[in-house]
Amino acid sequence: MKYCNQCGAKVELQIPEGDNRERHVCIDCETIHYQNPRVVTGCLPEWEGRVLLCRRAIEPREGYWTLPAGFMENGETTHDGAIRETLEEANARIEVAGLFSMFNLPHADQVFMIYRGQLLDLDFSPGEESLDVRLFAEDEIPWDELAFPMIGETLRLYFSDRLAGSFETHVGTIRRVLKNPRRYQIEMHEAVVPQRPPG
């Protein structure tokens, strides 16, 4: 950040009074510009033991498979954002079953939240940000073609919970390995809030 969005003057990094972190502060009007993590919300849509994946039509990771998800909009809840993203990316209607996974991504300054959702029908198709949309059984998942590490981890947790007959809310942190920017370490925290199995 170089300029203040309130008055247009230059900003400098400094620690404001009463704070303990560097912030962008306007040298003229003294507005403090806080930059905080962004929330990504999405859905793991289910239908008779299969999950709906979208093949990305945009960067990053164009051509790779993902769950329908995206940044929250102002004025909406994470729950509403998951429904909206599923409709936008897959033209799919869902009934949300509960929060399934939440991953902290410190390297990207993001928090990634995925809800389980039951597809209401099979009337789905690629949205503007998707090349293809398909239902996959566990043995059909294109594991080597998934767009992001949290997608693969969420799917592994989902199939494991389904096999166990009980869904939980999973919380973890995904950290980039500094020596290799394409490798990540996943640290899972204790699973919480058991959920009823579908049906």
26-75 pLDDT, tens digit per residue, is 999 999 999 889 999 999 999 999 999 999 999 999 999 999 999 999 99
Q: Is the peptide bond before 142 cis (omega within 30 degrees of 0)?
A: no
pLDDT at 195: 59
Per-residue pLDDT, 75: 97
Q: What domains appear along the chain, each with residue ranges and CATH number? A: 1-35 (2.20.70.10), 38-195 (3.90.79.10)
Strand 167-177, strand 180-188: pairing: antiparallel
Output the pTM of the full model: 0.86
- Mean pLDDT over residues 107-123, rounded? 96
Dihedral angle over CA of 181, 147, 151, 43, nearest 10: 140
How far apart are the C-alpha atoms of 70 and 112, rounded to whole Å?
Answer: 9
pLDDT-derived band at 109, boundaries 50, 70, 90: very high
Q: How far apart are CA 135 and CA 129, in angstroms?
A: 17
Coil, strand, or helix at residue 154? helix
Helices (H), the chain: 78-90, 149-164
Q: What is the pLDDT of residue 189?
A: 87
At residue 110, the pLDDT reads: 96
